[in-house]
């Protein structure tokens, strides 16, 4: 800092010029806006003297200071110091003590560079009955060596919430959060253009930007929901894992770009895991592309033959063929005591284990949700629109009849939002297709306003259908076509 120095009380001394430098060490952060430290100062001053050579001073001192961050760009500092100085004039020189205090104001251009103005008063001892008092003022440059040599990112990120990450709905998380982070600005000034990105390696192609924050004031915190664009490799997860994840933070502090990576751990569940806080989620397991379901559906409907000539909608005949083929295949309704829909639908945050269509075929049985997903997948493989029906404690299937007049007004048909659906109670395969449709309709009527129908194509808008690579490894051993045809013919006769 170059300075102007005005001597006080010395008649023969005139205003002089000088320069000073200080090295400040902030070691005591009091609050985000108040800090304290020690400063080491050095200065050179020259006072012109009437009728004599100039009076020159070289000094060095040490003392405490306090900083106050007034706003993003302005701060103030008060310091005191004491030390020794050497003066020289003509052929005389000596070493004496000095003490002083000053106040300064800084304008921060970047975290590294600031401009400041300072004024202060210094007492220089000179003789037993005489002192030199100096009123000093100047404008200088402040360089933050810490920021220059080792820039520090003063932003904290901590996880405050985590919801379940379920692979089967991996696409859903692009627009729906699975965790909440608290982001806190620990800079002494406001930060801007804050960008937060999330990366779960192997299950993401690249880091996903989930938050753009325009401004965060000093000491200010913000709760930020985390979303991500996962990829299909999540469907390879057969076990629940605790995965390391990285959060990338980028922001600007006084136009300086700062970045930092934070590591944390998040639990990712296996691919069969699901919760029932939204019944439509089961639609993600329904796949008209599942190789086992496609194979079964096409084989079963190949047995229809000339039964298509019956005065019945084609969708009804094909659905009946699927049901009868499943009955002959030996499919069974099995209640899992550890994860049944009856129990878990009333506890929406409890984890359920859901089978993909090929798994239910392989096991030849499943819970009501497993059988519903399998039957709906086969219907969709034949391009027959399906739907879930939920009543308290139970889920089953319906399909679009595809005929506006067949059984008009019949109580076995559900008419909803301009669509005509035929319900199928999938948990009673031994009773046959006709009885399954009557049972499904009866349950719908008894549930009244508590019954809900969720068309699959609408479900998929929120929870897209997925299929796993292992689905085509073991195709089912199908029952004889002639047996399917005989069973189907008997059921179609019952439907008249």
What was the pLDDT predicted at 469? 82
Contacts of 442 (CB under 8 A, 6+ apart): none
Q: What is the mean pLDDT of residues 374-394?
A: 97
Confidence of residue 346 (pLDDT cuts 50, 70, 90): low
> Which numeric CATH code is attached to 155-268?
2.60.40.10
To the question of domain 273-495 being in CATH 3.30.930, the answer is no
Between 49-58, 135-144, 243-252, 270-279, the lowest mean confidence (pLDDT) is in 49-58
CA distance 246 to 249: 10
Confidence tier at 80 by pLDDT (50, 70, 90)? very high
Same fold, 2-149 and 155-268: no
What does the pLDDT average to over 264-283? Answer: 94
Residue 323 has pLDDT above 70, yes or no: yes
Instruction: Tell me the pLDDT band of 402, cut-offs 50, 70 and 90.
Output: very high
Mean pLDDT for the stretch of residues 268-282: 94
Q: Tell me if 260 sits within 8 A of 339, measured CB to CB.
A: no
pLDDT exceeds cutoff 90 at 240: yes
**Residue 91 confidence (pLDDT):** 82
pLDDT surpasses 90 at 67: yes
Q: Which residues contact 134 (CB under 8 A, 6 or more apart)?
A: 5, 6, 7, 8, 45, 100, 121, 122, 124
pLDDT surpassing 60 at residue 225 = yes
371 with 331: CB under 8 angstroms? yes
| Spans of all domains in the chain | 2-149, 155-268, 273-495
**What pLDDT shows up at residue 408?**
87
What is the structure's pLDDT at 113? 93
Architecture, CATH, for domain 2-149: Beta Barrel (2.40)
Confidence band for 29, pLDDT divided at 50, 70 and 90: confident
pLDDT at 44 over 90: yes
The predicted structure's pLDDT at residue 421:
97
Mean pLDDT rounded to a whole number for the chain: 93
Q: 307 or 285: which carries more pLDDT confidence?
A: 285
At residue 474, the pLDDT reads 85
pLDDT, mean of residues 211-224: 95
% of the chain residues with pLDDT over 90: 79
80: tokens are: 């005191």
pLDDT score for 151: 84
Distances from the Cα of 395 to the Cαs of 41, 205, 423, 457, in angstroms?
80, 36, 11, 17
Residues 108-141 have pLDDT tens digits of 998 899 999 999 999 999 877 788 899 999 999 9
Q: Given pLDDT bands bounded at 50, 70 and 90, which one contains residue 12?
A: confident
């Amino acid at each position: 800092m170059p300075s102007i120095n005005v001597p006080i009380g010395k008649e023969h001394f005139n205003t002089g010029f000088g320069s000073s430098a200080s090295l400040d060490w902030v070691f005591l952060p009091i609050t985000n806006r108040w800090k304290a430290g020690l400063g080491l100062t050095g200065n050179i001053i020259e006072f012109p003297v009437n009728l004599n050579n100039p009076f020159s001073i070289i000094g060095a001192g040490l003392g405490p200071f306090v900083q106050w961050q007034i706003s993003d760009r302005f701060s103030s500092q008060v310091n005191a110091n004491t030390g020794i100085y050497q003066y020289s004039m003509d052929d005389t020189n000596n070493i004496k003590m000095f003490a002083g205090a000053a106040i300064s104001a800084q304008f921060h251009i970047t975290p590294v560079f600031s401009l400041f103005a300072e004024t202060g008063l210094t007492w220089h001892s000179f003789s037993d009955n005489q002192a030199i008092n100096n009123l000093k003022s100047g404008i200088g440059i402040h360089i933050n060596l810490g920021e220059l040599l080792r820039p520090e990112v003063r932003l904290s990120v901590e996880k405050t919430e985590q919801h379940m990450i379920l692979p089967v709905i991996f696409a859903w998380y692009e627009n729906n959060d699975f965790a909440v982070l608290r982001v806190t600005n620990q800079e002494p000034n406001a930060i801007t253009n804050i960008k937060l990105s999330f990366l779960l390696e192997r299950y993401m192609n690249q880091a996903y930007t989930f938050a753009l924050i325009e401004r965060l004031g000093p000491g200010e915190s913000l709760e930020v929901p985390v979303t991500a664009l996962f990829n299909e490799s999540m469907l390879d997860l057969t076990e629940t894992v605790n995965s390391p994840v990285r959060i990338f933070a980028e922001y600007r502090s006084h136009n300086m770009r700062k970045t930092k990576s934070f590591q944390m751990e998040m639990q990712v569940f296996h691919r069969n895991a699901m919760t029932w806080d939204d019944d439509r989620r089961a639609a993600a397991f329904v796949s008209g592309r599942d190789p086992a379901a496609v194979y079964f559906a096409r084989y079963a409907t190949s047995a229809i033959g000339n039964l298509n000539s019956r005065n019945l909608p084609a969708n009804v005949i094909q659905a009946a063929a699927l049901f009868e083929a499943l009955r002959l295949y030996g499919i069974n309704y099995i209640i899992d005591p550890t994860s049944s829909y009856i129990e878990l639908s009333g506890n929406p945050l409890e984890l359920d284990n859901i089978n993909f269509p090929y798994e239910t075929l392989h096991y030849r049985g499943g819970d009501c949700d497993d059988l519903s997903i399998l039957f709906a997948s086969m219907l969709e493989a034949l391009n027959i629109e399906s739907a879930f029906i939920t009543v308290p404690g139970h889920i089953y299937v319906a399909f679009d009849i595809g005929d506006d007049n067949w059984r008009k007004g019949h109580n076995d048909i559900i008419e909803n939002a301009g669509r005509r659906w035929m319900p199928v109670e999938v948990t009673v395969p031994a009773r046959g297709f006709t009885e399954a449709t009557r049972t499904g309709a009866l349950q719908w009527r008894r549930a009244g306003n508590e019954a809900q129908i969720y068309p699959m194509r609408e479900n998929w808008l929120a929870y897209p259908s997925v299929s796993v690579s292992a689905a085509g490894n073991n195709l089912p051993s199908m029952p004889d076509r002639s047996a399917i045809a005989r069973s189907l013919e008997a059921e179609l006769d019952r439907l008249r």
